Structure 1
Amino acid sequence: MVVTSIVVGLVLTVLTLVLTLVTISKGYSYKHTIDPLNKEDEVREFSGNGKRL
């Protein structure tokens, strides 16, 4: 009974470790992108005096 509990605990620990590493790896490999600004957004970003709005 004790050996079975230890084996089950080790299997769950290894499974958790593997899933954690896979999740972290997928997160780092995700290509983040940003949308380009529209002309309207560029005009709103700066006023005529060079200061941000």
Structure 2
Amino acid sequence: MSAKKIIGLLLIAFVVFYVLSNPTDASDLIKNAASGLKSAAQSFAQFIGSIGS
């Protein structure tokens, strides 16, 4: 098994462990990440819109 595959499996195991041991913190993390992505998408859309004007 390659090192890249082992690291990927360890990362998945850590995420599963984190979600099961701290579900509230995990949901807050997802909400914050989604909010950040939404903000970035809105800023990008505004930038593209200003180029066309």
Task: Give the TM-score band, short-chain normalised.
Answer: 0.5 to 0.7
Q: TM-score, normalised by structure 2?
A: 0.56
Q: By percentage of residues, which structure has more helix?
A: 2
What is the aligned counterpart of 1:7 among 7, 16, 28?
28
Unpaired runs of 5+ residues, structure 2, are 1-21
* C-alpha RMSD of matched pairs (Å): 1.4
Unpaired runs of 5+ residues, structure 1, are 33-53
What is the aligned counterpart of 1:18 among 30, 39, 47?
39
Q: How many pairs were matched up? A: 32
Q: List structure 1 runs of 4+ shifted beyond 2 angstroms.
A: none
User: Taking every aligned residue pair, what percent have the same amino acid on both sides?
Assistant: 3
Between Structure 1 and Structure 2, whose CA radius of gyration is higher? Answer: 1
The one-letter amino acid of 1:11's match is N
